[in-house]
Amino acid sequence: DPRGLYVCEIEGKSSSLQVHYRMCQNCIEVDAPTISGIVIADVVATLFLAVAVYCISGHDRGHTSRASDKQNLISNELYQ
């Protein structure tokens, strides 16, 4: 425990220093392998999510374009 009163004496002169130090009780050490593991997991999760969204959004090949619908509506005089 580094807390306490520290005294330094040089050539008959003394100086004191009061130290208050808090230590983290629930801290974990984060080293390079841990950080790289987090980054790799994040990239893999992001790619998985992107592929899932791409697959879910789907490609409706049988659906006609909306442009033809607009042309039909504009040519209809009742609509105008």
DSSP string, 27-42: -----HHHHHHHHHHH
Q: Is the pTM above the cut of 0.95?
A: no
pLDDT at 51: 93
Looking at residue 24, its pLDDT comes to: 77
pLDDT at 25: 76
Reported as type and span, the H/E element at residue 43 is helix 32-57
At 48 the pLDDT is 96
**What is the residue-level pLDDT of the chain in tens, covering all 80 positions?**
677 888 888 888 889 888 887 777 777 778 999 999 999 999 999 999 999 998 888 765 555 555 555 565 556 566 55
**Cα atoms in the Cβ-side hemisphere of radius 13 Å centred on 12:** 0
pLDDT of residue 46: 97
Rounded CA gap, 32 and 36, in Å? Answer: 6
pLDDT of residue 32: 93
